[in-house]
Amino acid sequence: MRQDYFKDKTALITGSSRGIGSAIARKLALAGADIALNYRKAGGASQEQGEQLCKEIEGIGRRAFLIQADISSKESVKSLIKETKERCGRLDFLILNAARAPFKPLERLLERELRQLVDTNYIGNIFCIQEALPLLEESGGKIVFISSLGSRFYNPSYPLGSMKAAMESVVRDSAESLKDRGITVNGVCGGIVKTDSFKVLRQYIEEIELMPEEMVMEPEEIADTVVFLCSPDSRGIRGQTIVVDRGLSSRLFRPPKKS
Ligand SMILES: NC(=O)c1ccc[n+]([C@@H]2O[C@H](COP(=O)([O-])OP(=O)(O)OC[C@H]3O[C@@H](n4cnc5c(N)ncnc54)[C@H](OP(=O)(O)O)[C@@H]3O)[C@@H](O)[C@H]2O)c1
């Protein structure tokens, strides 16, 4: 890979004020890209963390912009992409990272929760792809979706898993349908990662307590694979969702024991 490949390129990472999204933003900035950060809830901790991260990225010499937008709203996504274009001038990498879902069985979801689940985690991601297309076509850009093991394995309190599975199909399908427009689409399916949502997850998935500490991942491990998928080194990979889980999914039928 050319040393300066990421220089003067721009990445938009949805839901990047904290957690895995912020690790992806840092890694892409360190690689040389300018960054459009996004969060949903104005006036809260997320906004504060996003502002802090903006300063941190500027500190390493890259441009960074923080844009509030709720990806579940078409209008909001339109203004997210418009602002990205106005501020950055281009878009090379669209990282679909934002997610929001209740932890409870599908059959107990209230109508409002079910709609929010689909609106944010499926429709919202597709809004982002649709609106970013002209910019990505111009740059020959890449889309990377962040999935989780819930796409492949059942957990009673994780309705988000079915949306992740649907999106992994979108990764496969859009990789084909967008190929002729010069756009590459792939995904990263993460194991259990230490973030704010991990703290909530452990209250609902008791098996997590049985997991040895070394199976719990750092956000940077997901971020490194995202940077790889954004780089020309991944040119042979299209329409794939790569599992990055420290081998956890290989052990699912042999529950790991704490030492
Ligand atoms: N943590 C894990 O163990 C794990 C494992 C595998 C995959 N993943 C996936 O990795 C991604 C990031 O997970 P995380 O644990 O880092 O999440 P997190 O700590 O809960 O952060 C989620 C981020 O998404 C934003 N967001 C939520 N809804 C949004 C919306 N409608 N529009 C725009 N932004 C929105 C949040 O902003 P606000 O704070 O403003 O809402 C926040 O910045 C998710 O797709 C998740 O499913 C996580």
| Tens digit of each residue's pLDDT (9 = 90 or more) over 32-74 | 999 999 999 999 999 999 999 999 999 999 999 999 999 999 9
Q: Tell me which of 12, 40, 215 to substitute to probe ligand 1's pocket, judged by most ligand atoms within 8 Å of the beta carbon.
A: 40
- 52 part of a folded domain: yes
Strand, helix or coil at 65?
strand
**Both structure tokens of 36:** 């459009």
Find the domain containing 155 and state its range.
10-246
Pairwise CA distance, residues 10 & 204, whole Å = 37
5 inside domain: no
Substitution site in 145, 195, 226 for ligand 1 pocket (most atoms within 8 Å of beta carbon): 195
What's the pTM value of the predicted model, to 2 decimals?
0.96
Mean pLDDT along residues 230-250? 96
pLDDT digits (tens, 9 = 90+) for 27-40: 999 999 999 999 99
The verdict on residue 2 lying in a domain is no
CA distances from 156 to 111, 150, 197 (A): 18, 10, 16
Q: What is the number of domains present in the chain? A: 1
Contact residues for 126 (Cβ-Cβ < 8 A; gap 6+): 170
Catalytic site includes residue 82: no
CATH number of 230's domain = 3.40.50.720
Domain contains 189: yes
Among the options 82, 122, 158, 179, which is catalytic?
158
pLDDT the model gives residue 69: 98
Report the chain's mean pLDDT, rounded to a whole number. Answer: 94
Q: In whole angstroms, give the CA distance from residue 202 to residue 199.
A: 6
Q: What's residue 12's pLDDT?
A: 98
In a domain, 147, yes or no: yes
Give the closest residue to 215 by CA, choosing from 254, 177, 187.
254
In angstroms, rounded to a whole number, what is the distance separating the alpha carbons of residues 191 and 3?
30
Compute, in angstroms, the gap from residue 97 CA to the centroid of ligand 1.
6
- The reply to whether 135 falls in a domain is yes
Active site includes 258? no
- pLDDT attached to residue 127: 98
pLDDT at 115 over 60: yes
- Give the chain's end-to-end CA distance (angstroms, integer): 41
Ordered strands of the 10-13 beta sheet: 64-68, 34-39, 10-13, 93-96, 142-148, 184-190, 241-244
**DSSP run (H or E) holding 35:** strand 34-39
Which residue puts its alpha carbon closest to atom 47 of ligand 1?
Answer: 99
